Amino acid sequence: MVSFYARFTLQPRGALALHVCDDIVCQLAGSEVPEGAHRSPCLGLCERAPATLTEHFGESYEATATPAFRPIQAKQSKLLRRVGVVDPDSIESYRSHGGFSALERAREIGPSAVIGEVTSARLLGRGGAAFPTGRKWESVAKAAARPHYLVCNADESEPGTFKDRVLMESDPFAVVEAMSIAALAAGCEKGFLYVRAEYPLARKRIENAIALSRAAGLLTFDLEVRRGAGAYICGEETALFNSIEGKRGEPRNKPPFPVEVGLFGKPTLVDNVETLVNVLDIVLDGGAAFASTGTPDSTGTRLFCLSGQVLQPGLYEVPMGTSLRTLLFDHAGGLRPGRTLQTVLLGGAAGSFVTPSQLDVPLSFEGTREIGATLGSGAVIVFDDTADMKQVLLRIARFFRDESCGQCVPCRVGTKRQEEVLERLFVAGDTADVALLSDIAQAMRDASICGLGQTAANAIGSGLTQLKVLHG
């Protein structure tokens, strides 16, 4: 079990560990890993690239991340309206900004009316799979077996994604309040918030918010925080259950689905942090009001994590359906002076590349689907004409080879072969191997157990089709 997790070790370790991110965005920012440091996949600090995390293992555990050089961007805000405004450590501050009024309203109208509002809001999950949230809540509420569990998925390890960190660090009581509402609605007696190990500040603030909310009688259920240990796959919901149960974080076969057989074999509601925080306004203003923002099929606003070669990297909230061009140029300041846009990677390592000619794509689930792309986890990585896209594709291939849990053959072998073929292709320029790449992609897509293997070839396939990497 220990060997499964990158951050566990059977060897004695020093008092200090330096993790240097060399993932897509940090590689682009010139990250170099010094001798003795640990090479890390995305640390979820992409707006500060190149990013590092220093851990001190002493009497008490402490971790320090690359500091922010300027406050996080928080424009156009519904979900982000309290970011940088409330004191994240103070329940009084949260209450003075309307905090816990949604929970009060939920208690007044009762569980089935709350689920009714979430359903009429047509909220779709923000963790990547875009499943209708109301339907999931209703299934758990109706499940006969007991207890019911609630899990908040705060694993956020998709390269280029840092939205959940910002919500947890800057507005932790909102996450706790939203979990209380979800537990009330779906009849959950017990819950967990699973946060990645690389987010020590988020964890501290969430733990404080839970303690203060509990003391104030504002928790509707029993809630604990669980820390990940450096495995991207643990963001997949069933792998996450295994991880909470103290096992290797290997995904389970579905069906049965978590709403029936989830954590400890019981009905489980699992939702992403951003999904949950949306529920506050849905309960306060009603589902119909929520659905009046965005497009008919993608309601509400969406958080986008802008990083890479863009003038103002940061977290931006825009109504669903806003064009990528508007997000990039009107909100995030466009490119550095004198540079031209090469491509944008939408949705992180499991996403796809969008060319300059596709910049008017509406950022909605259906709009991106139409051009064969995906919103995924809200990662928007920008590459100008100076970016070496071969290095980017190789880094993506290495990411999947490293992060495959190894449980099923198509993914375990496919991610390795994919990386090897790309290396040969980019070094020897042997294009005969391209056909092999699409065979590998097909096998992984068709025969992998979980979304990691099923999407591991997406960005590489789209990069090879869209970019000039084979000729440059």
Ligand X SMILES: Cc1cc2nc3c(=O)[nH]c(=O)nc-3n(C[C@H](O)[C@H](O)[C@H](O)COP(=O)(O)O)c2cc1C
**Residue 351 in contact with residue 369, Cβ under 8 Å?**
no
Q: Which stretch binds ligand SF4 (CB under 6 A): 46-54, 215-223, 376-384, 449-457?
A: 449-457
Q: Which is nearer to ligand SF4, 365 or 400 (CB)?
A: 400
Kindly tell me the burial class for residue 167, based on how many C-beta atoms sit within 10 Å of its own C-beta (0-12, 13-18, 19 or more).
Answer: buried
Cα–Cα–Cα angle for 46, 51, 56, rounded to 5 degrees: 130
Using CB under 6 A, pick the residue from 78, 107, 339, 412 that binds ligand SF4. Answer: 412
- What's the closest the beta carbon of residue 20 comes to ligand X, in angstroms? 21
Q: Name the DSSP class of 292.
A: T
> Binder to ligand SF4 among 79, 182, 346, 411 (CB under 6 A)?
411
DSSP state of 294: B
Assess contact for 309 and 384: CB atoms under 8 A.
yes
Q: In the complex, which residues of this chain contact ligand X (CB under 6 A)?
A: 125-129, 131, 133, 153, 155-158, 233, 235-237, 270-272, 275, 450-452
Residue 374: count of CB within 10 angstroms of its CB: 19
Nearer to ligand SF4, 358 or 407 (CB): 407
268 binds ligand SF4, rule: CB under 6 A: no
φ and ψ of 144, to 5 deg: -80, -35
At 315, the amino acid letter reads L
Examine residue 362 and tell whether it contacts ligand SF4 (CB under 6 A).
no
The structure tokens 């909220």 sit at 123
Looking only at residues 19 through 48 of this chain, which bind ligand FES when binding is defined by CB under 6 A?
21, 23-26, 42-46
How buried is 421 (Cβ within 10 angstroms: 0-12 exposed, 13-18 middle, 19+ buried)?
Answer: buried
Contact present, 305 and 315 (Cβ < 8 Å): yes
Q: Return the one option of ligand FES, ligand SF4, ligand X, none that residue 327 interacts with (CB less than 5 to 8 A, by type).
A: none
CB of 197 vs ligand FES, minimal distance in Å = 14
> DSSP states of 170-207 as a string?
H-HHHHHHHHHHHHHHHT-SEEEEEE-TT-HHHHHHHH
Strands 149-154, 268-272: pairing kind:
parallel
Question: For ligand FES, which is the closer residue by CB, 43 or 219?
Answer: 43
Which one of ligand SF4, ligand X, ligand FES, none interacts with residue 131, CB within 5 to 8 A by kind? ligand X
DSSP conformation class of 363: S
CB of 457 to ligand X, least distance (A): 14
Residue 157 binding partner per list ligand FES, ligand SF4, ligand X, none, with a CB distance cut-off of 5 to 8 Å that depends on partner kind: ligand X
Shortest Å distance, C-beta 367 to ligand X = 18
**Which residues of this protein are in contact with ligand FES, per CB under 6 A?**
21, 23-26, 42-46, 49, 51, 159
**Which residues of this protein are in contact with ligand SF4, per CB under 6 A?**
233, 251, 404-408, 411-412, 448-450, 452-453
